[in-house]
Structure 1
């Protein structure tokens, strides 16, 4: 599936986790990759974010597939920096065919107790960052009259969640952006879709702050406690590998996915059965 020979993909938040999986999967299908990441810490995020060495490792893994990779340190919170990423892709490869707007953060607080900084950082990265990424590539895609855009939302957008209402709100906003943009650019041969994963086996899940949210009845829950919670559910509700989400993205950006547009593709191990 997904012959992407000679396509060029821009992927945000690609230093590790889902972004790295997308970069490697699209490269294995034939695409050259421009991958960007902030590669530094944000004060309100309670776990270590990706680093420049992580970004370099993603580039190395892409190049092991036989495709080219250009890693760029860039902040999705800045329109100017995302414009520069898009221009770098055009300068190095001549075009942009695919955007995967994947960059995101997680943090935890109940709404009544949430600080302004916690709220604003979440909206700036997880929602405005998607908006900036879209705007950076759209003039080029519209001029060429072709493009594939996929944004990372979350099943949480449709469910709500305790202690992460800002995350749910941002991811719901991503769906609004995706559906609206899909209507605006369909006439140019551009498709715009979202993937909504459930729990993914990445550092965003595996950190003490997330363990405390998932296992609130223990004072210092461990990775084993969190994994036991997932294991106690239905057989297919365990944490998914990042590569499983990447397979869905690959479908949406490939020729086989040309009829997906304005879609919210859920991968939740059954959690979506309780949503509309």
Structure 2
């Protein structure tokens, strides 16, 4: 039986590990060919916080996608560099048959601190990657989707913090709220081309970023105790962090033909964190 993404091509940022790798492999399992990018280096502002991705990480994503029998074009690229993204998309679309059906803007970072503890560089790099990087991703790739004339689906990876701001994450909150608004903007303005746009809002995910950000804020709670209750969810008796596959399966729905009437949606996959 044909997969739910058979004959389609998906562009995924931040694909070297974590959620991005999971999304690439899951869509490939359902028949998609993949264009994948990642910065493959440690960003200076994150040194000592959590390690960056490597070229070996991206090579492992390539191996796992190819194991499904699908093709992949994988390149080192920084989402802050729109010219590089345009170059990779052009190369990938040409190699994989001249079409682009799905865009998953997944690359992002998180730095936890008190509002007064952030340096200007930490604020700026978070906005540049998490918000401007998402804008660059769509600007660099959506024209190929429009030109192909097959419609398509854009998924912007936001966060629970993009729906309900949490403590000790001021720049992250601001960037992810902006991503939520961008998804609605793209949903309106690209509908005429048959292109859907939605945002997805993960709760705590078992990745290097998720584990460090989630664990690190425990240390910050002592100065202003009680605020971490805002991150609580209803998944009692379960692991504190979900498998990235939970998010990948939701993205699969949003980029497949099962969601042709789903656009402008902010979809939370968070165990109920954003319900109250």
State the TM-score, normalized to the length of structure 2.
0.90
Q: Secondary structure at the match of 1:206?
A: helix
Are the equivalent residues in 2 in contact too, given 1:238–1:269 (CA < 8 A)? no
Following TM superposition, by how much is the alpha carbon of 1:238 offset from its aligned partner in structure 2, in angstroms? 3.1
Which of residues 252, 255, 258 in structure 2 aligns to 1:253? 255
Whether 1:55 and 2:58 are equivalent positions in the alignment is yes
Superposed, 1:11-50 pairs within 5 Å as: 11-45=12-46, 46-50=49-53
Q: RMSD across aligned C-alpha pairs, in angstroms?
A: 2.1
Are the equivalent residues in 2 in contact too, given 1:237–1:270 (CA < 8 A)? no
Moved over 4 A (4+): 215-218, 229-233
Following TM superposition, by how much is the alpha carbon of 1:158 offset from its aligned partner in structure 2, in angstroms? 1.9
Q: What is aligned with 1:186?
A: 191
Q: Secondary structure at the match of 2:127?
A: helix
Mapped partners of 2:73, 2:232: distance in 1: 36
Q: Give ranges in structure 2 of 5+ residues lacking alignment.
A: 223-230
Are the equivalent residues in 1 in contact too, given 2:112–2:216 (CA < 8 A)? no
Mapped partners of 1:199, 1:259: distance in 2: 28
Are the equivalent residues in 1 in contact too, given 2:234–2:271 (CA < 8 A)? no
Whether 1:147 and 2:152 are equivalent positions in the alignment is yes
Cα distance per residue 1:157-195 (max 9 Å; x no partner):
222122211001100000111001110010110001111
Which of residues 227, 243, 259 in structure 2 aligns to 1:241? 243
Equivalenced residue count is: 263
Following TM superposition, by how much is the alpha carbon of 1:264 offset from its aligned partner in structure 2, in angstroms? 0.6
Q: What is aligned with 2:71?
A: 68
Following TM superposition, by how much is the alpha carbon of 1:205 offset from its aligned partner in structure 2, in angstroms? 2.4
Mapped partners of 1:195, 1:239: distance in 2: 17
State the TM-score, normalized to the length of structure 1.
0.90
Following TM superposition, by how much is the alpha carbon of 1:216 offset from its aligned partner in structure 2, in angstroms? 4.4
Are the equivalent residues in 2 in contact too, given 1:236–1:269 (CA < 8 A)? no
Cα distance per residue 1:122-180 (max 9 Å; x no partner):
00100011000000112122223312110100001222122211001100000111001
Q: Secondary structure at the match of 2:208?
A: coil
Give the stretch that moved more between structures: 84-93 or 167-176.
Answer: 84-93
Q: Give ranges in structure 1 of 5+ residues lacking alignment.
A: 219-228
Q: What is aligned with 1:79?
A: 82
Q: Secondary structure at the match of 2:189?
A: helix
Mapped partners of 2:119, 2:157: distance in 1: 25
